[in-house]
Structure 1
Amino acid sequence: MVVSMTGFGRSKRSNDSFSVTVEVKTVNHRFSEFNIRMPRQFNKIEDKIKKKLSASIHRGRVEVFITVEGEGLTDRKVLVDWNLLDQYVDSIERIKEKYGLDHGLSLQDLLMSEEIILFEETELGNEDLERIVLEAIEEAALSVKEMREVEGKALENDIVTQLKSLQTIVGKLTEMAPEVVSLYRDRLTKRIHEFVENGIDEARILTEVAIFADKADINEELTRLNSHIEQFRSILTLLEPIGRKLDFLLQEMNREVNTIGSKANDSKIAKEVVEMKSILEKMKEQVQNIQ
């Protein structure tokens, strides 16, 4: 089954106290990679979040954004360094006494000292909130999966069209292959006619043609190409990640096409080889986005 690596999903869950929004975006990537941005209080359930996502997203770069709104998400405290405060007040009084200063120490003066009075904010854990987050993750991941499957269907339709075009050219080359040897025999005979006055050594011509036919024989490559095309179609139906398999198979197909181009010394075949390379390049672009 063809599944694209490009997708987006969004989910919003809430209760009386909290509102959780999850957005999941996926793009193509060689492996499976997760990048999760969320409040620090959810770090302890990061593995659970990845497990939820991995259930339906097997390959690609996954970016997750989790935002939480509501009351009681943080615990705020005022911390006073009493020992430092005692020293601070004592020092102020001694300075006033030593230098005859009249200005007194005010509360505002103390509040301006960040070293003495600290405001601490702690993010609270909450089992109900964590449950809502995981539910939102699961829902967003399902939306991503559905979108990736729709995109995958479009990719599959295009790839199948390209495969048909490729197989049509392979059929044409199969018909043209014997003509290459025949044309070479005619050219060789003509050239020998031009340079030999006392007749033609038919055995020599047959030997030269046989050597050329062996070097220029592309039937083996065409047979393998047909096999690869059928295997490609079969892989498209598998209910598992298939992107890497298709990518490897395309490399093999491209290798066969290159061999055909180097072996067949014929302008017509060379033209078809160029067309096949163009088709394979288009298929490669599509396959690189398949899970």
Structure 2
Amino acid sequence: MIRSMTAYAGGERTTPWGTLSCELRSVNHRFLELGLRLPEELRAIEPALREKVTGRLNRGKLDAVLRLRAPEVATSLAVNEVLVDRLGELAQRLQARFPQMRVGFTDLLQYPGVLQGQAVEPAALQAEALALMDEVLDQFLAAREREGAQLAAAIAERVDGVERIAAEVRTLIPAIREGQRAKLAARLADLPHPVDPGRAEQELVMWLQKLDVDEELDRLGSHVSEIRRVLRQREPVGRRLDFLLQEFNREANTLGSKSVDSRTSSAAVELKVLIDQIREQVQNIE
């Protein structure tokens, strides 16, 4: 299954310590480059998270972000008795200096550290994070495959165009050869001195051999078959497709350089346009 290198996926899960969220976002890159941002509570499992990602992805610049958002309403609250006692002692010492000072109950609760939520259990939170990463990775790979299917369809359409142009050029070759033969015969007839027919035929054969593009057309056909085979594979094929396109481009360039007819010159240009369009799509493939 062809996979794109660009994709996005995200997910959340509620834990006793808050809402845990995960986002994965990737763009094109020659290799796999992973940027991972974690809250302090999850630093210990960074190697395990990296291993999960690198075990399932091969290419792309990937940004992975995990966040832990505190619950809006705490399910369990406790009062820090030690801190409250210290605040009370401080208030008594300052009462003579600030006789008008009054501290309400709600003001006291808002002081940092007075109210304490449920303590984080590191092992349980880390297990939740690893499970969430698995879920988001599944969604992420599914998104890559959906976009990859669209890329494969676009490439296949242009490969069909390459095959069609190559077939058209092949049908033109006999007429082009005959035209070159007639053109050379006309030029020989205009010469002031007669030319040995055997020598003229030999020169013509050598000239037509230089213009022969049968090999290039055969190789194009072979490349078309190969790229279709590669598009059906399940493993990452981006680099292989990129190499194939170099071969496509080489044959198109040779076809253009050997052309002596406007029709084959035009066909070579059309081939290069299609090949460039395929290359644009391949740059997105893992």
TM-score range (shorter-chain normalised) is 0.7 to 0.9
Counterparts of 1:202-217 in structure 2, within 5 Å, are: 202-217=197-212
Q: Is the 8 A contact 1:30 1:60 kept in 2?
A: yes
| 1: CA distance, partners of 2:121 / 2:37 | 17
Distance 1:66 1:208, change over 3 A: same
Q: Which runs of 5+ in 1 are unaligned?
A: 73-123
Q: Is the 8 A contact 1:217 1:263 kept in 2?
A: yes
Give the aligned residue type for 2:152.
Answer: E
Aligned to 2:265: 270
CA drift of 1:38 comes to 1.5
| 1: CA distance, partners of 2:277 / 2:184 | 39
CA drift of 1:264 comes to 2.3
Aligned to 1:253: 248
Q: What SS does the aligned partner of 1:241 have?
A: coil
Aligned to 2:66: 66
Segment drifting more, 232-241 vs 14-23: 14-23
| 2: CA distance, partners of 1:125 / 1:228 | 58
Q: What SS does the aligned partner of 2:273 have?
A: helix
Q: What TM-score do you get using the length of structure 1 for normalisation?
A: 0.78
CA drift of 1:181 comes to 2.2
Aligned to 2:278: 283
Q: What SS does the aligned partner of 1:23 have?
A: strand
Q: What SS does the aligned partner of 1:195 have?
A: coil
Aligned to 1:115: none
Q: What TM-score do you get using the length of structure 2 for normalisation?
A: 0.80
Equivalent of residue 154 in structure 1, options 131, 150, 155 = 150
State the Cα deviation string for residues 175-228 of structure 1 (Å, max 9, x = none): 1223322211111111111123x5443212211211111111110111011001
Give the aligned residue type for 1:127.
Answer: A
CA drift of 1:67 comes to 0.9
Q: CA RMSD in A?
A: 2.3
Q: Is the 8 A contact 1:56 1:142 kept in 2?
A: no
Aligned to 1:116: none
| 2: CA distance, partners of 1:273 / 1:209 | 24
User: How many residues are aligned here?
Assistant: 244
Q: Is the 8 A contact 1:41 1:125 kept in 2?
A: no
Equivalent of residue 143 in structure 1, options 94, 118, 139 = 139
Aligned to 1:194: 190
| 2: CA distance, partners of 1:278 / 1:166 | 10
Q: Is the 8 A contact 1:228 1:249 kept in 2?
A: yes
CA drift of 1:248 comes to 0.4
State the Cα deviation string for residues 60-114 of structure 1 (Å, max 9, x = none): 1110111112379xxxxxxxxxxxxxxxxxxxxxxxxxxxxxxxxxxxxxxxxxx
Aligned to 2:18: 18
Q: Is the 8 A contact 1:261 1:269 kept in 2?
A: yes
Q: What SS does the aligned partner of 1:285 have?
A: helix
Give the aligned residue type for 1:156.
Answer: A
Aligned to 1:175: 171
Give the % identical residues. 32
| 1: CA distance, partners of 2:199 / 2:182 | 13
